[in-house]
Structure 1
Amino acid sequence: MERITITVDEDLLKEIDALSARRGYKSRSEIFRDMAREALAREAIDAAEQVDGDEPCFGTLTYVYDHGIRDLPIRLTDNHHAHHALSIATTHVHVNHDNCLEVSILSGTAGNLRKFADSVTSQRGVRYGKLHIMPLEGEDGHHHFHSHSHHRHDDHDH
C-alpha cells in the first residue's frame, strides 16, 4: 500500500468526516479509498454507456466554482473562448458570496465535449462538475448534426 498526502478544503473535510462518522469508518483513509473506488466504478459505468467520440452531440456541462480562487473566473472564461466552436450558451448564477453555478450548452463531437468538460472541471476551485451528453438522432435512426448560420432579417426578406 502506498502513502499519499492530499490537501482538502476545511469545509469539505468537515463534510467527509461527518459522512465517515455516519457510515462508521475507522479512519479517513478508509473513506477516501471507498470514495475513490466509487468514482472509478461510476467512471467505468459511464464509459460503457458513452456515446462514440466522433458522434455529433449536444451536451450540458454543469459546475459550481469558487469565484474567489485566484484567476479562476478568468481561466474559465479564457477556456470557453478557446472552445468557442463548442459553446452555444452559458448561464451564470451567483449562488452565494463565494460560489457561482454555470450551465453551458454545448454542441460538437462527444469526444470534444468530454475534453472541454474535463478542462473545466479539473480546474482547482471547480466543484460538482457533470457533463450530460445527448446524441443527435434523426427520425430515420441515423445521427444528424445540424448547424445553422446567423443572418440578418432585412425588410425585404420574406
Structure 2
Amino acid sequence: MSELVRFGVSIDNSLLDKFDELIGRKGYKNRSEAIRDLIRDHMVEQEWEADAETVGTFTMVYDHHTRDLSSRLTHLQHSFTGEICSVLHVHLDHNNCLEVLVLKGKAQLLQTLADKLVSVRGVKHGKLTMTTTGEAMPAGQGDHSHGHSADGRNHHGHSHD
C-alpha cells in the first residue's frame, strides 16, 4: 500500500463552508476522505469517457400491459447477453414492473443498451448507473473500510467510520 501524502489546497472560504456542510450531511468524518472520494469519482468518469470496461445497473419501470413490450424487451436483452450479468424482475402493482439489469462491458456499449431499452414504447422510466470494475482504481487509504466476513464470502458492508 502506498504512503499517505499531505498537501495544501487553496479554496474560497464560502466554497469551503459549502463543502463542509456537504461532507457533514454525507457523514464523512473528515475532509480528506471526502476529497479522496471526489478524486475517485472523477477517475471513474474518465474510465467511462475512455470507453473502458465498466460495470453498472440499468433500472427501468414499465407497463407490462403494453402490447408486445415483454417480447421486445426480451429480444433486445438477448442481443446483449455478453453484457447482461443478471436481471431482477419485480411486480410493483397490477400494471407496472421494475427490472434491474446488472451490466458489464465497454461503457459506450452499456450506454447503447440503456438508450435502446429506454426508447421502447411502454418503458415509463429508465436510468443507467455506471461505476468502475475496480481494476484500475488504487486501493483506498485512511478510514475508508470494506468489511468481509470470517467465512471468506463477500457479505459486503461499506462504512465511512
The interval holding the TM-score normalised by the smaller chain is: 0.5 to 0.7
Of residues 88-97 and 127-136 in structure 1, the stretch that sits farther from structure 2 once superposed is 127-136
CA contact 1:76–1:120 (8 Å) conserved in 2: yes
Q: How many residues align?
A: 95
Residue 82 of structure 2 is matched in structure 1 by 85
Q: Do the aligned partners of residues 66 and 53 (structure 1) sit closer, same or farther apart at CA in structure 2, a change above 3 Å counting? A: farther
Q: Do the aligned partners of residues 88 and 140 (structure 1) sit closer, same or farther apart at CA in structure 2, a change above 3 Å counting? A: closer
TM norm structure 1: 0.55
Distance (whole Å) between structure 1 residues aligned to residue 131 and residue 56 of structure 2: 6
Give the structure with the higher percent strand.
Answer: 2
Residue 62 of structure 1 is matched in structure 2 by 59
Would you say 1:126 and 2:120 are equivalent positions? Answer: no
Q: Do the aligned partners of residues 103 and 49 (structure 1) sit closer, same or farther apart at CA in structure 2, a change above 3 Å counting? A: same
Q: Do the aligned partners of residues 53 and 128 (structure 1) sit closer, same or farther apart at CA in structure 2, a change above 3 Å counting? A: farther
**Structure 2 unpaired stretches of 5+:** 1-44, 139-161
Distance (whole Å) between structure 1 residues aligned to residue 137 and residue 79 of structure 2: 35
What percent of counterpart residues are identical?
Answer: 39
Would you say 1:95 and 2:92 are equivalent positions? Answer: yes
Q: Do the aligned partners of residues 109 and 96 (structure 1) sit closer, same or farther apart at CA in structure 2, a change above 3 Å counting? A: same
Q: Do the aligned partners of residues 71 and 140 (structure 1) sit closer, same or farther apart at CA in structure 2, a change above 3 Å counting? A: closer
Where in structure 1 do 4 or more consecutive aligned residues deviate above 6 Å? none
Residue 138 of structure 1 is matched in structure 2 by 135
CA contact 1:53–1:112 (8 Å) conserved in 2: no
Q: Do the aligned partners of residues 140 and 59 (structure 1) sit closer, same or farther apart at CA in structure 2, a change above 3 Å counting? A: closer
Q: Secondary structure of the equivalent of 2:109?
A: helix
Q: Secondary structure of the equivalent of 2:116?
A: helix
Residue 52 of structure 1 is matched in structure 2 by 49
TM norm structure 2: 0.54
Residue 69 of structure 2 is matched in structure 1 by 72
**Structure 1 unpaired stretches of 5+:** 1-47, 142-158
Q: Secondary structure of the equivalent of 2:54?
A: strand
Q: Secondary structure of the equivalent of 1:54?
A: coil
- Cα root mean square deviation, aligned: 2.2
Q: Deviations over 1:8-40 (max 9, x none)?
A: xxxxxxxxxxxxxxxxxxxxxxxxxxxxxxxxx
Query: Structure 1 counterpart of 2:131, which letter?
Result: M
Residue 109 of structure 1, aligned match among 103, 106, 110: 106
